[in-house]
Amino acid sequence: MPFSNLSSPRKVHGLDAEIRGAAVLASPGLVAMISTDPVRLGVCPIGGSGAKTTNLSLPSAHDVALLSKDVAVVRSGDDAVWALLGITHGPKLDQVGRDARQLATRPSGETALALGWDGSATELKLDKTEVNGRTFAVRGSARAFDLTETEAHVVMDGAGEGGELRVHPGATPEPGPTLRASLPRAAQNLDRVRGGPKLTAVYKRGASAACAVVRSSGKLAAKMLAFADPVADVAVLESSLFVAFADGRVALFDGAAIEAAVGAPIAPTAIVTLGARGEPAVLAVAGKGSPTLWVGTSAGEIWSLAIVRKQGG
């Protein structure tokens, strides 16, 4: 059954600093959020208590990836990439990359992907207690990418008026793409992507539009979605899109709402007001059977909302 509602928000943890990035580790079920000024890593068990905060000796931070329950990767404000080893036992920082403009996390862990300013990419893999980087060339000019458990979703420039979405098997874009979709001209400035097996969203924080790419019968179809307010962040799960707005609202748009969108601001399937300190800054979806939506705010609060499926009959 499709998703139809969001539960009342619940505050889970706080970092007392602006949250910039989030990552999910499907097993054993963890959500991590990274803050800046000061840099703190908050790790929250999904569906349980016992959240922990780790202070990091970095000047600032932008993105985080979880490779295991004890190892994370952080992209700092100077675009260096750091491995955080032993999260729960006196963490050690080890630089594993530089000049990265984006860091993508894989829900299954073990691997993360950093996109360099020079157009290259670096695969970051966990090897026992170390993180090793392998840099490779990317065919064409990659604008953004995201990792799912089985695929790499990459937005490329120069392959159409608004670019092109390419879906590659595995954890890097090195194998040839199995699916492609030309993006509308209005998507040319969108610089982030969230991938999924049924829906991929291309967006930009602060913009009032996003591009939804729907997968059906082995094909991709892209369409622009308009919103009434600027977007803070988005997440996808199955055929549904989740959007956090700067005014503190969080909305669910199901597959039917996306299909029906024709130019005017899309009508949400469900919407709630977070009621948190600060503005929503990042979103993450965790879990499959009983999924939850996680929100990190500019004031450092971490909230969760249960995602409710439509009841049969």
Q: pLDDT of 37-84, one tens digit each?
A: 999 999 999 987 899 999 999 999 999 999 999 999 999 989 999 999
pTM equals 0.96
Q: pLDDT of 249-301, one tens digit each?
A: 999 999 999 999 988 999 999 999 999 999 999 999 998 888 999 999 999 99
Flag whether pLDDT at 313 surpasses 50.
no
Separation of alpha carbons 195 and 251, rounded Å? 18
Flag whether pLDDT at 1 surpasses 50.
yes
Query: According to the model, what pLDDT value does residue 49 have?
Result: 84
Q: pLDDT of 142-188, one tens digit each?
A: 999 999 999 999 999 986 689 999 999 999 999 999 999 999 999 99
Query: According to the model, what pLDDT value does residue 310 have?
Result: 83
Buried b (16+ CB within 10 A) or exposed e, 111-133: bbbbbbeeeebbbbebeeeebeb
- For the chain, the DSSP string reads --EEEE---EEEEE-SSEEEEEEEETTTTEEEEEEESS-EEEEEETTSS--EEEE---S-EEEEEESSSSEEEEEETTS-EEEEE-TTSS-EEEEEE-SEEEEEE-TT-SEEEEEETTS-EEEEEEETTEEEEEEE--SS-EEEEEE-SSEEEEEESSSSTT-EEEEEESSSS-SPPSEEEEPPGGGTT--EEE--SSEEEEE-TT-SEEEEEEEETTEEEEEEEE-SS-EEEEEEETTEEEEEETTSEEEEE-HHHHHH--SSPPPPSEEEE---SS-EEEEEEE-SSS-EEEEEETTSEEEEEEEEEPPP-
pLDDT grade for 312, boundaries at 50, 70 and 90:
low
